[in-house]
Structure 1
Amino acid sequence: MADSTTGMSKILYRCYETRSREGEQFIQDHAFSFQIAGTSTLFDGKKSYVAKEGDFRLIRRNRLAKFNKQPPENGEFKSISVLLDQQTLHALSSELNLHAEKSFSSNDVTIPLKSHPLYTSFIDSLWVYLQLPEEEQARLMESKVREIVQLLLLLNPETRDILFDFSQPGKIDLEAFMEKNFHFNVSLDRFAYLTGRSLATFKRDFQKIFNTSPRHWLQQRRLREAHLLLKERRIPVSDVYIEVGFENLSHFSFAFKKEYGYAPTELLKTA
């Protein structure tokens, strides 16, 4: 099994022999991604996005997602991604006078990209970089980020409105957002940012709306959801705790028993 991040965290190479559930992730930067082998499923709380062998896609920043990585039969899951960091995109915007012209038409987390020899050649070139010492990779990777951005603009010009949209999340309906996203295991700072608030304002608004603290509400809401999944859908405990956003199984089991008076495994034994 391999799971490496190189070139100042700009190249992400993943290789798994067994199914991998990465839990929750805040996607901080756009990423150009290629599925080498196996299947990668990304779920944003509402919609699933599946990448199969040979698929190229652009994954968008400032999103919450869960990842499920499935290797092929008798094989390994393999994918490679390049992070399109904001610093490089800002520099390109200034140098080439590139700006988003309008809001992108879709709110999807991933944008499928049609296969093209230029994309394939770009991916092939990354393997050489991965063989270099990490310090050399770091120095050279900015050029590779610039290269793939310009390929995206050439082959998929509509992505300009994604890549060069530097706006921050605006203030949105806090109650609706939390009900939709409570099962993502991310920090309160992330929740605050995605709702267009400072952490202090987020906590203050949260108290007004829910009449309790964010941490207490999140635990109670996740436990209620876990109880429902165990009772109605009979989902294994080892999957439920991840599904509802707990950090680990022991914490979930302790909190569940404290709340309901019995272990979560006991609920699965009932008819």
Structure 2
Amino acid sequence: MTIENIPEHYIQSDLSDKELLIYNLQMSKEIIKTKVNLNMHMFSFLQKGRKEVHYADRAVTVNEKQSILLRKGNCLWSELLNPEENYFCKLLFFTEERLSKFINEYIDKGAEENEEIEETFFCIENDNYLTSYIDSLFNINEPQAKLNDKLLSIKFDELLIYLLRKYGKSFEKFLISLESQKKNSSFKVSIEQNIFSSLSLEEIAFLCNMSLSTFKRHFKEEYNMSPGKWLRDKRLDKAKELLDKENKTPSDIYLDLGYHNLSNFSNAFKKKFGVSPTEIA
């Protein structure tokens, strides 16, 4: 699977001197779990559709009623269409340098500068103000033009000031963490947050910023077992618990435990426990 460098994949020009960029993303087909190397922090303002984003240690899904601020780095994202609608999203990219200018002018970092922030994204509930703000971005059609660059800079400050007023300290701490790039999830946290996800080993390795072979080596050193067997055992143990103690059926749980079809789940379950999952349910 190829890796898309964003925003370079969208904007085919020299971005070396750009601190702020906007892009209108439209599509008529769904894209599922694209490997993304996000090279700038990014606001995603959905107009139509849904977006799912997986980082190494957590995942999030947003719709048209929400916007999201994503930390730069490796992630997987899916762009999903609503019935009979195309996907449409407004993207606003920014660098740490531009963020630092804002923080230095508007935020007294104080003690928060040394606080460890674990979040890779910040979800934003849209309101009337933000809806009007997003609409105003559509009038900035050529972000490379000098006057439009100045206008976009003003609009960027406006957005952050409003979100600071709306969310207070939680948003302030997140902005400071973006500037310092403290985020660095431990290997074990990344693994254990994805035990019951549908992600492949290759996808989990990408989120950990490793090749598949390096990931497998680190995994065996940490857990004394291959990742495939370890994840399979964890998922099947959880399946047995759900079937035995919570009266779930195999059809209820196989997708949530990372299996793509019921037959594969049933065969793996019987191989481990000697009985089919229907005999327990």
Matches of residues 4-83 of structure 1 in structure 2 within 5 Å?
4-5=10-11, 8=18, 10-21=21-32, 23-59=34-70, 61-83=71-93
CA RMSD of aligned residues (A): 4.0
Mark the CA change 1:233 to 1:34 in structure 2 (over 3 Å): closer, same or farther. same
Q: Is the 8 A contact 1:41 1:68 kept in 2?
A: yes
**CA offsets 1:116-169 (integer angstroms, 9 cap, x no match):** 222112101110102x37334445322222221111112222311111233344
TM-score, structure 1 as length reference: 0.59
**CA offsets 1:190-222 (integer angstroms, 9 cap, x no match):** 949xxxxxxxxxxxxxxxxxxxxx67435888x
CA distance in 2, matches of 1:170, 1:68: 22
Paired positions, count: 205
- Which AA in structure 1 matches 2:203? H
Please tell me whether residue 120 in structure 1 is matched to residue 131 in structure 2: yes
CA distance in 2, matches of 1:4, 1:138: 18
Please tell me whether residue 93 in structure 1 is matched to residue 113 in structure 2: no
Q: Is the 8 A contact 1:92 1:98 kept in 2?
A: no
- Which AA in structure 2 matches 1:71? L
Mark the CA change 1:182 to 1:99 in structure 2 (over 3 Å): closer, same or farther. farther
CA distance in 2, matches of 1:128, 1:87: 25
Please tell me whether residue 135 in structure 1 is matched to residue 145 in structure 2: yes
- Which AA in structure 2 matches 1:115? N
3-state SS of paired residue (1:113): strand
CA distance in 1, matches of 2:115, 2:30: 33
CA distance in 2, matches of 1:97, 1:133: 26
**Other-structure match for 1:239:** none
3-state SS of paired residue (1:163): helix
Mark the CA change 1:182 to 1:168 in structure 2 (over 3 Å): closer, same or farther. farther
Tell me how far 1:44 sits from its aligned partner. Answer: 2.1
CA distance in 1, matches of 2:185, 2:31: 33
Q: Is the 8 A contact 1:83 1:145 kept in 2?
A: no
Please tell me whether residue 110 in structure 1 is matched to residue 121 in structure 2: yes
Tell me how far 1:233 sits from its aligned partner. Answer: 4.0
TM-score, structure 2 as length reference: 0.57
CA distance in 1, matches of 2:42, 2:145: 21
Instruction: Give me the identity figure in percent.
Output: 13
